[in-house]
Amino acid sequence: IPPPAKKPLTKIVSHLLVVEPEKIYAMPDPTMPDGDIKALTTLCDLADRELVVIIGWAKHIPGFSTLSLADQMSLLQSAWMEILVLSIVFRSLPCEDEIVYAEDYVIDEEQARISGLLDLHVAILPLVRRYKKLRMEKEEFVTLKAIALANSDSMHIENIEAVQRLQDSLHEALQDFEGSQHPEDPRRAGKLLMTLPLLRQTATKAVQHFYSIKMQGKVPMHKLFLEMLEAK
């Protein structure tokens, strides 16, 4: 007997799956000597390119582009690191205690120690464990990523009602998805939303980590990454 066909996904979740950006690669510079400067240079360069992609992706979230430009900027300035961290965490789910910064940049604890990335590694792993336990699916990941953006608690929002409408539509999409795909667990949407505080904590630690690296001035950083770091 074939398994029962899965119910169709909600429009928003299907749309978010379609607009999910392509993988990007870290491409560490082979001419640089191995060590913490190389590792951090690779990550900062990767983050800068990911940011360009995240800004383009945000414009495809239904309702985001109708916000004022100022509100779009405020949401992205607050949430960009949460979006970056959530993407890294989702990529790392199939691994055991390794962080997949990119397909070609998978770091285990020992490599993290050598490369000066141990603090970041230790900060991200609890989030990976949390989503592993929940067995987070791709549909849930893309929806939660959009929710993290809409729910970024920026202090500078002009049109609070419009941002609230965006939050409501994404929240509803998550609830509808869980209602149709996971009727056996009526609290699944809530469980996913309850991971957002740990995501914010982790992103805050990551921002602090990169901000202190910026202050030390030893690692080259591209302009967009610097601009977003300074906005925090």
Min separation Cβ 72 and another protein, Å: 5
Q: Count residues contacting another protein (CB under 8 A)? A: 22
Q: Which residues contact 63 (CB under 8 A, 6 or more apart)?
A: 165, 166, 169
Helix (H/G/I), strand (E/B), else coil: 123: helix
Enumerate residues 11-30 that contact another protein by CB under 8 A: 19, 21-22
Min separation Cβ 232 and another protein, Å: 12
Do 87 and 145 contact (CB within 8 A), yes or no? yes
**Element holding 172 (H helix, E strand):** helix 160-181
Min separation Cβ 87 and another protein, Å: 13
Enumerate residues 188-227 that contact another protein by CB under 8 A: 223-224, 227
Pairing of strands 105-107, 99-102: antiparallel
The secondary structure of 187-226 as a DSSP string is THHHHHHTTHHHHHHHHHHHHHHHHHHHHHT-S---HHHH
Min separation Cβ 228 and another protein, Å: 7
Which residues are bridge partners to 107 per DSSP?
99
Q: Compose the 88-127 pattern: x for residues touching another protein by CB under 8 A, - for all others.
A: ----------------------------------------
Q: Shortest CA distance to 87 belongs to which of 199, 231, 170, 198?
A: 199
Q: Compose the 54-93 pattern: x for residues touching another protein by CB under 8 A, - for all others.
A: -xxx-xx--------xx-xx--xx----------------
Of the two residues 134 and 231, which places its CB atom closer to another protein in the complex? Answer: 231
Min separation Cβ 63 and another protein, Å: 15
Residues that bind another protein (CB under 8 A): 19, 21-22, 52-53, 55-57, 59-60, 69-70, 72-73, 76-77, 223-224, 227-228, 230-231
